[in-house]
Amino acid sequence: MTTFVLIPGMCHGGWCFRELCEDLRHHGHRAVALTLTGLAERAHLLDGGVNLDTHIRDVAGVLEAEDVRDAVLVGHSYGGMVITGVADRLPGRMAGLVYLDAVVPGDGDSCWSLVSDRERQWYADVVETGYATRPLPFFDPRATPHPIASLLQPLRLTGDPARIARRVYVYAARWQGESPFTATYERLREDPAWTTYALDGGHNLMRDAPEDLLKILTGARW
């Protein structure tokens, strides 16, 4: 049995992994989908102090409180920032990292610095308080504003990310328009330290390519 801890991307909550979690449990694994502070059912906690460190602490706190070990962290999109930070702080609890069409930051990177100008224009469309980026119009109705400080804050790493030996990147090959993750995928597929996949789906791979994604997660030797 593998314990998968799934972290959503911008504006989404743990609800976006519901079907994937059900499928993972059906295959005998433990699956925990988390909602980050300030989003979805935790939207009432949104204020100007919610940043990337807050989200890293969200996940690290669950791993420690539940004494989760040999975890596979799965981060979608912005979630790549979070899982990288958690793995840096708690490397002894990690069995692997899975980046689902996600940013893969190094020390000093922010989500803002890693995406294209198109995404930055979206990020800058904030709600009246100035605390959060609005969901895009075509998002699921359950989407909520995303704390903008978490997109601007640089990630600080204290160790070598390569100490997590099992790292997987799953690229969405069917974006509408140019994907901000193409350069990341092309770089990582040439790196023998990474296992990479390209799936025939849009950015929301949990919805567009659920069977292929499930095979990747359950077929790996964690």
Domains of the chain: 3-219 (3.40.50.1820)
d(C-alpha 7, C-alpha 21), whole Å: 12
Based on the residue annotation, tell me whether 77 is a catalytic residue of this protein. Answer: yes
Please tell me which residue in 77, 110, 150, 179 is annotated as part of the active site. 77
- Does the structure show a pLDDT above 90 at 177? no
Residue 19's alpha-carbon distances to 6, 26, 118, 136, in angstroms, are 12, 11, 30, 22
50-74: pLDDT as tens digits = 999 999 999 999 999 999 999 999 9
| Model-wide pTM > 0.75 | yes
Mean pLDDT of 145-155: 98
Confidence band, pLDDT 50/70/90 cuts, at residue 155 = very high
Angle between the N-to-C axes of helices 79-89 and 52-65, in degrees from 0 to 180, rounded to the nearest 10: 50
- Does the structure show a pLDDT above 90 at 161? no
- What pLDDT score does 130 carry? 96
- What pLDDT score does 71 carry? 96
Residues 10 and 133 sit within 8 Å (Cβ to Cβ): yes
Residue 60: name the closest of 91, 30, 16 by CA.
91
How many other C-beta atoms can be found within 10 angstroms of the C-beta atom of residue 193? 11
28-39: pLDDT as tens digits = 999 999 999 999
- Does the structure show a pLDDT above 90 at 23? yes
Mean pLDDT of 76-87: 98
